[in-house]
């Protein structure tokens, strides 16, 4: 079983810079963001990135403090698909593109995906660390230092960020030879595990 905690952050909801993060309980993690969004988009993006970053046959358990993100991905999506991506009231599903992307990622994954709600801000070390990482990513984007290549969900990144206006010229940062859109999962320093949750 792979267990991953996710979180999202929006500095000013709606429309402020957003950050997302996941942290695997083995210590590996990833985070990113966008110049503008909502707290719901941030939470959903964290969940999507967690699924995409953990392919394979092993069961995946995603812990989140967002009941909205969990229900979008596991409960409501069933009825929404049946109703042609409309809500019970007949209105279009909010954040449809990302909800569909999550559904596609879960369906394509060979191993099962389950979700567990955890209460936020009560001392769970992985939830707290995901919250810190998401907040830091949002702050980087708010300060104009966000990495335009830091998301696999280009449809969520505003046009200004995609064109590089939100973070310099839009090129990959100096010394980073990743192709545009390529992700690099960060590895926890095994000698520094005590400070991982500072």
CA 175 to CA 51: how far, in whole Å? 28
Task: Output the six-digit token pair for 2.
Answer: 């792979």
Alpha helices in the chain (DSSP H): 39-53, 67-74, 76-82, 96-108, 125-142, 159-162
Note whether 95 and 66 are within 8 A (CB): no
CA 71 to CA 66: how far, in whole Å? 9
Residues labelled catalytic: 7-8, 43, 65, 121, 131
DSSP state of 86: B
Q: Is the peptide bond before 23 cis (omega within 30 degrees of 0)?
A: no
């Amino acid at each position: 079983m792979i267990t991953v905690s996710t979180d999202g952050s929006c500095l000013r909801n709606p429309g402020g810079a957003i950050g997302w993060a996941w942290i695997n309980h083995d210590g590996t993690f990833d985070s990113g963001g966008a110049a503008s969004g909502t707290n719901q988009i941030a939470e959903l993006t964290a969940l999507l990135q967690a699924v995409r970053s953990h392919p394979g046959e092993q069961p995946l358990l995603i812990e989140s403090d967002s009941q909205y993100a969990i229900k979008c991905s596991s409960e409501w999506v069933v009825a929404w698909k049946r109703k042609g991506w409309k809500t019970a009231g007949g209105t279009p599903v909010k954040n449809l593109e990302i909800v569909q992307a999550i559904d596609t990622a879960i369906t394509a994954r060979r191993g099962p995906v389950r979700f567990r709600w955890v209460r936020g801000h009560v001392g769970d070390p992985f939830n707290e660390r995901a919250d810190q990482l998401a907040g830091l990513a949002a702050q980087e984007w708010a300060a104009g230092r966000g990495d335009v290549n830091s998301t696999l969900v280009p449809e969520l990144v505003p046009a200004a960020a995609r064109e590089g206006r939100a973070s310099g010229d839009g090129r990959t940062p100096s010394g980073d030879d990743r192709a545009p859109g390529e992700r690099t999962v960060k590895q926890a320093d095994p000698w520094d595990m005590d400070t991982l949750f500072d």
